Chains A and B, each alone.
Chain A
């Protein structure tokens, strides 16, 4: 399972980079979304995969019985998802404004700031 997830993460990273390198700004957004997902999945699997072992502490003891799924990566991903969601929403608005201003979705046309 670990290996499968690792391959999937690698695949998503590759797709993300490929999409970001495309010339269309719409594909740029998709690439950035994928990049965020890949990073989140990586954190999730880096914490170790434990199927069916919730980190519940029995009354009277101070630690959950081994093995248990580490809850911290899940909390981290929750934060990271919210952040990447917000940033993506902003990015979409920005791209739509830029599309209106430039009149083209080809990043090669974005040359006003280079001289």
Chain B
């Protein structure tokens, strides 16, 4: 049982090490890449089943008792995130075999991918806030290199912006950890949760919560802090964009949700109005930015921002239903968003450009109807058309908002949904639907190589998962609401990590 909880970190580490050792043979690296990520999917599903059955799993490194030692704490939310990370990782690995050129692959592309996955899984599993920082750095380091790999001018410019802003956010995170340790004398999240709840000094707690909100907000690209994302996400190869879009901002969202449920629960007087405002502005600015863009990946990049707003909305409302909506939304979003970036890659491969105006008038649809249909599914899911996954995710959030009468934010969420649909139809109309304007266009249009099955397979699988999440929304929503209930049950988390005695000993501080 305890091995299962650390395997999501060990497995990518081993795969990365093997790939580095065999760096001369691209063939072996590819095989290791695909096999290890598929194994990670299996391991993460087993871990999820275990947590689903047995409750929170705690693994103490070196058997030191909490809160002295460092522990991995796997709750439902964490294990769901690991499953999603594994699925995205496997899809990226398979897609990359043909989707990343040989030159980039020979510069240790696959090892970097494994280390990125290791960092992401570690961040989802750890129960120690300083280790969260360390895992963040692990995943950031590999993401920096992945972003800059290939040395094109756009990539380097994007990388400088991305690296600078992420380093600033990390420094801020580290600073907040320093203040946190200075105030409470512990770094174990369960212990911190208990001590913060018991403290009388609300001033420092508010300051700390805002510092964490800014530090994670930069990583999650929430409202005033998102400008680095559309400046960098469209520069690397498509497979890299896809895994970044699917996973990296969601690590920030995960950290916000974790910190604002466990350490600083949402306070209706101060945090909730602030978060609702941030969520509304994030949704609006993101979708308006998307409406103004005419490049495939830049439209999608702005959409990531607006979707982050929905996840924040669920956290801000802070009812069990709303939080379940957030979890459901993340599950839906990671799959759909990574898939849309993969499809942007396919469209670029077919038409030789990802500028929407240049893709038409001879559309992708004319070349490959299958790709167009595969785009249609996640695009409509993102816009929230039933019966796809996005519809249910939005439905839950809106229902939760109506229940506690937050009308304004619901109105914003609905308007943003319509605007999302608008910009998705824009991509559809420009890239996939336009017929040839003149007969000659057909002849002179660039035809690139056909889409290899190894790139189509992950796209089709992710689209199938999107449909399945929509069709089996009931059971999946049950899981999400159980995860949300577990997130709101602070005592349960603390008891699982520190044991019953600690709860009683601290009963009267």
Contact = CB atoms under 8 A, between A and B. Distances in A.
Nearest to B151: A97
Given A39-B171, A90-B144, A72 B154 contact: no
Q: Interface of chain A, helix or strand or loop or mixed?
A: helix
Interface stretch (B178-186, B218-226, B436-444): B178-186
Given A97-B151, A113-B161, A43 B174 contact: yes
A76 B168 CA distance: 18
Given A20-B168, A94-B148, A110 B181 contact: no
Nearest to B137: A83
Given A36-B171, A97-B156, A43 B181 contact: yes
A87 B141 contact: yes
B157 A113 contact: yes
B167 A91 contact: yes
Interface residues of B, number: 41
Interface string B176-206: 0111011100010000000000000000000
Given A39-B171, A91-B163, A97-B151, A72 B137 contact: no
A110 B157 contact: yes
A86 B138 CA distance: 11
What class of interface size applies to chain A in its complex with B? Answer: 35 or more
B298 interface: yes
A42 B179 contact: yes
Contacts of B178: 39, 42-44, 46, 73
Contact of A112 (B141, B157, B187): B157
B171 A35 contact: yes
Interface string A6-41: 000000000000001000010010001001101110
Given A94-B160, A97-B148, A115-B295, A38 B171 contact: yes
B158 interface: yes
A101 B134 contact: no
B153 interface: yes
Given A42-B178, A72-B181, A73-B181, A94 B153 contact: no
B451 interface: no
A18 to B, nearest CB: 13
Contacts of B167: 32, 35-36, 87, 91
Contacts of B168: 20, 32, 35
A98 B159 contact: yes
Interface of B: 130, 133-134, 137, 140-141, 144-145, 148, 151-154, 156-161, 163-164, 167-168, 171-172, 174-175, 177-179, 181-183, 187, 231-232, 234-235, 293, 295, 298
30 contacts: A28-B160, A32-B167, A32-B168, A35-B171, A36-B167, A39-B175, A39-B178, A42-B178, A47-B182, A73-B178, A73-B181, A80-B133, A80-B174, A87-B137, A87-B140, A90-B141, A91-B167, A94-B144, A94-B160, A94-B163, A101-B151, A101-B153, A102-B153, A111-B157, A112-B153, A112-B154, A113-B154, A113-B158, A113-B232, A114-B231
4 cross-chain pairs, A with B, having the tightest CB-CB distances, nearest first: A46-B182, A43-B178, A98-B156, A39-B174
